[in-house]
Amino acid sequence: MENMLTPKQIVAELDRYIIGQHDAKVAVAIALRNRYRRSKLPEEMREEITPKNIIMKGPTGVGKTEIARRLAKVVKAPFVKVEATKFTEVGYVGRDVESIIRDLVEVSIRLVREEKYKEVLPRATEIAENKLADVLLPLRRNTAGVQDKSDPELREEVLSELRAGHLDGVYVEMEIRQQPRPMQIQVGNNPSDSINIGNIFGAFMGGAPQGGAKRRKITVKQAKENIIAQESEKMVDQDSIIQEAMQRAEQDGVVFLDEIDKIAANSGSMQQGHDVSREGVQRDILPIIEGSTVQTKYGAIRTDFILFIAAGAFHMSRMEDLIPELQGRFPIRVELNNLTKDDFVKILTEPDNAVLKQYKQLLGVDGVELSFTDEAIDEIARASFEENENSENIGARRLHAVLEGLLKEVLYEADDNETKQIIVDKEYVEKHLMSTLMGKNLKKYII
């Protein structure tokens, strides 16, 4: 975890996309930084320090899942987000909880492979360019006006054009190695527990590779990408990738368990059978969070030092409805706040992926220049806040529902044959939105 960001830097990165929820951001940032701090300690002390897992409580649409999604891009650690509702108790049909760790290992392998390939990319690119130059040189020699140039001069000319991308659309015929199509059978309930039949038959037939070479006519750009991939694979030791990936998943892995409230027994629930099943999933998750060894197709992995972050709305149940042992494994509890009207204004305008920026970019494709006045933005935020108050509170997702209703005509009428400018002001909002919202709000008074 070299060059790990400080807690303040992690929070600053999350602030670019998520409004408010400072306590949750700080808790996550400290937990991630502690992983880095632990990695710098002597080995005997490292073994004694386990992660302080986090559980986040808050209504839907306030940023719990978004924090996890952005976290995956901020940290350079293996990260997997899973829905707790996807898992079933052992003995039932469905995914078992150990598949979480297998998914984490796959993510870690992909992460390490990308890093290793990036390291050898300059050398692999050079080889690819030279191979393509060998193919293109005879074609260039046959064109008019190059008879007086020597082969080295022509080769340099071709190489410079290749590097500049001027030949990307040219078609060449090359021998391309075909990627083998895996023929797999599934063992048990887990998609990751599968056997590649092709590899077995390949071994019986003397270890012949499944994917043979085939001559194809492809563009220079496609050929270059294909050669770079093949050369990178040759330069990187695949066994070392798996070894490093397993180590990183074990020491630096982060698992985000979303919708954990859905496996909690409802307070005062009469559906005892269903609650027993939910508790069964909790009991299955517990050993993984406490620390156990999970078998994967790459080998065994310990879960003692994986950081678990759980989140849920807890509107039908409480954190206390989780089994006590599981509660004890999440010592850090963070409660996320409901969004206010001012939060909606900021969500509309401030983040790098602000909602209004998205609509401006989308309509810009069809030549529509869309702009919003401050009064209009304030009115949209107020309408969204009131809708959440008067009906189901769906948090920031309400903004998308409100804006789709507001801009329905513009989105429908726009096409790329006509350029137009549309200014959304307070009057526009009142005309296109308020009557619809008023009609929805009146429905609750009709008996």
| pLDDT single digits (tens) 366-386 | 888 889 999 999 988 988 888
Higher pLDDT, 433 or 40: 40
- In the chain, where the domains are located: 7-106+249-335, 121-243, 341-437
Please state which CATH number belongs to domain 7-106+249-335. 3.40.50.300
DSSP state of 85: G
Is the pLDDT score of 245 beyond 90? Answer: yes
Answer yes or no: is pLDDT of 16 > 80. Answer: yes
Q: Of all residues in the chain, what percent carry a pLDDT higher than 90?
A: 13
Provide the whole-model pTM.
Answer: 0.78
The amino acid that residue 183 corresponds to is M
**For residue 141, what is the enclosing H or E element?**
helix 98-141
CB count in 10 Å sphere of residue 123: 13
Lowest-confidence pick of 72-86, 213-227, 262-276, 334-348: 262-276
pLDDT of 120-167, one tens digit each? 999 999 998 888 888 888 877 777 566 667 778 888 888 888 888 888
The pLDDT of 47-68, averaged and rounded, is 87
Q: In whole angstroms, what is the distance from residue 426 CA to residue 379 CA?
A: 7
The token pair at 365 is 């494709």
Between the CA of residue 234 and those of 210, 231, 241, 276, 319, what are the distances in Å? Answer: 17, 5, 13, 52, 51
Amino acid identity for residue 244 in this structure = E
Residue 129 in contact with residue 146, Cβ under 8 Å?
no
Both tokens assigned to 356: 């209004």
Q: What is the mean pLDDT of residues 191-196?
A: 55
Residue 447's pLDDT is 44
User: Looking at residue 107, what is its pLDDT?
Assistant: 92
Model confidence band, residue 446 (pLDDT cutoffs 50, 70, 90): very low
How far is it, in rounded angstroms, from Cα 229 to Cα 218? 15
- Name the percent of the chain in helix, strand, coil, to the closest 5: 55, 15, 30
Contact 211, 178 (CB under 8 A): yes
pLDDT tens digits for range 304-326:
999 999 988 887 888 888 888 88
Q: Which residues contact 90 (CB under 8 A, 6 or more apart)?
A: 96, 280, 284
Q: How far apart, in whole angstroms, are the C-alpha atoms of residue 40 and residue 394?
A: 42
Looking at residue 337, the DSSP 8-state letter turns out to be: P
Give Cβ neighbours of residue 354 (< 8 Å, ≥ 6 apart).
Answer: 347, 348
CB burial of 245-258 (b: ≥16 within 10 Å; e: otherwise) equals: bbebbbbbbbbbbb
Question: What confidence score (pLDDT) does residue 246 get?
Answer: 93
Q: How does residue 110 score in pLDDT terms, banded at 50, 70 and 90?
A: very high
With residue 171 as reference, give the H or E element that holds it.
Answer: strand 171-177
Tokens representing 362? 């989308």
Q: How far apart are CA 25 and CA 19, in angstroms?
A: 10
| Structural contact between residues 377 and 341, judged by C-beta atoms closer than 8 angstroms | no
Answer whether residue 242 shows pLDDT above 50: yes
- Concatenating the DSSP letter of every residue in 357-410 gives HHHHHHHHTTTEEEEE-HHHHHHHHHHHHHHHHHS---TTHHHHHHHHHHTHHH
Closest CA relative to residue 115, chosen from 223, 24, 236: 236
Task: Answer yes or no: CATH 1.20.58.220 is held by domain 341-437.
Answer: no
Highest mean pLDDT among 267-276, 352-361, 437-446: 352-361
Collapsing DSSP to helix, strand or coil, 79 comes out as strand
Distance from C-alpha of 366 to C-alpha of 362, rounded to nearest angstrom: 8
